[in-house]
Amino acid sequence: MNFEAIKSIYAFEMARTRRTLMQSVVSPVVSTSLYFIVFGAAIGSRVQEIEGVPYGAFIAPGLIMLTLLNQCIGNGSFGIYFPKFTGTIYEILSAPISTAEIVIGYVGAAATKGLIIGTIILATASLFVDITIAHPLLMVVFFVLTAVSFSLFGFMIGIWAKDFEQLNIIPMLVIPPLVFLGGSFYSIDMLPPFWQTVSHFNPVLYLVSGFRWSFFEIADVNPWISLAIVVAFLGACLAVTAWIFRTGYKLKN
């Protein structure tokens, strides 16, 4: 394993975050604060509790997941797309670096950025509502697995995208609706039976539900099923990434 290569890619990607602190850190924090102010004031005054948890605290895991998914996908996709856009990807592919080292460098940096922002959002949420974490270890497991999985997913999007429009299609048009419809701001038990069934086909439901269970021990889905879904998604992303590098899809031509 060429750790110097991994370190170089990782350090380069992390340096880009330090150069864009307003966009990378300040913007997500301000957006999350607005969510708490608007939803907490407008909806929280009408919905006092959900399953015994104050509404403001109930939505905190969903907001953290919303930010984490957006950050990981965005950083993962842009990190590999930009070398494609500038043509420097060929230098990386021709260097004595293995596929695993390239993926670890880019995905590791994207996941690290997402985890940092997610932790900041968690700290920000604690300023607005009382946060209790019933199962810290499981929370960290969900946190890390989700960050790595969706950073890898973003990495795949960056390879697939042929222009900036395609680069933003999934993060802007697909992920937010899935998060909003995945029980981030409500329990799916509040929905009619038909829509409860439909919600179970939304993969984000399992992320939010499992993550929320680690906080308050309430969930729309069994937390172990949620964990299995995250692990399965990570395995699928690894398999697709291995295929991409083996065939050279969108890389060698």
Q: Which residue has the tokens 């065939």?
A: 247
Considering its fold, how many domains does the chain have in total?
1
67's enclosing H/E stretch is helix 55-86
pLDDT at 205 over 80: yes
> Of 37-41, 85-89, 188-192, 231-235, which range is least confident?
37-41
One-letter amino acid of 79: G
Choose between 16 and 101: higher pLDDT. 101
Q: Residue 80's domain spans which residues?
A: 3-247
DSSP state of 200: T
pLDDT at 1 over 80: no
Query: Do residues 71 and 28 touch, judged by C-beta distance below 8 A?
Result: yes
> For residue 235, is it within any domain?
yes
Query: Do residues 209 and 221 touch, judged by C-beta distance below 8 A?
Result: yes
Q: What is the pLDDT of residue 229?
A: 93
Q: What is the pLDDT of residue 147?
A: 94
Q: What is the pLDDT of residue 249?
A: 83
> For residue 243, is it within any domain?
yes
> For residue 252, is it within any domain?
no
Q: What is the pLDDT of residue 70?
A: 87
Distance CA 171, CA 173 (A): 6
Percent of residues, the chain, with pLDDT higher than 90:
29
> For residue 253, is it within any domain?
no
> For residue 164, is it within any domain?
yes
DSSP state of 172: I
Q: Express each pLDDT in 114-146 by its tens digit.
A: 999 889 888 888 888 888 899 999 999 999 999
Q: What is the pLDDT of residue 53?
A: 85
Token pair in block for residue 219 = 């969930």
Choose between 118 and 40: higher pLDDT. 118
Distance CA 193, CA 35 (A): 28
> For residue 111, is it within any domain?
yes
> For residue 11, is it within any domain?
yes
Query: Do residues 162 and 251 touch, judged by C-beta distance below 8 A?
Result: no
Q: What is the pLDDT of residue 42?
A: 67
> For residue 36, is it within any domain?
yes
